[in-house]
């Protein structure tokens, strides 16, 4: 009777909530993953720029020509 439909609504709400939570978790995980890979990429890029800068400084100081001889 009427009690069946109300318990079905509770079940529907439960499964909907469960699906919503799982979807949000997947979204969050993928967002965190993208964020981490972006941070890693930025760190690698920054490191490369620092190395290039150090090399330029050494080149301009005449240090690299001293190495080459």
pLDDT tens for residues 6-38? 899 999 999 999 999 999 999 999 999 999 999
pLDDT of residue 62: 84
Domain limits, the chain = 2-68
| Sequence-separated (6 or more) residues with CB below 8 Å from residue 34 | none
pLDDT of residue 18: 97
Q: How many CB atoms lie within 10 A of CB 58?
A: 14
Give the predicted TM-score (pTM) of the model.
0.54
């Amino acid at each position: 009777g009427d009690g069946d439909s109300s318990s079905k609504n509770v079940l529907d709400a439960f499964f909907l909530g469960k699906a919503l939570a799982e979807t949000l978790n997947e979204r969050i995980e993928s967002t965190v993953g993208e964020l981490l890979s972006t941070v890693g990429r930025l760190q690698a890029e920054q490191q490369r720029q620092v190395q290039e800068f150090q090399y330029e400084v050494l080149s301009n100081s005449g240090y690299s020509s001293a190495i080459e001889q």
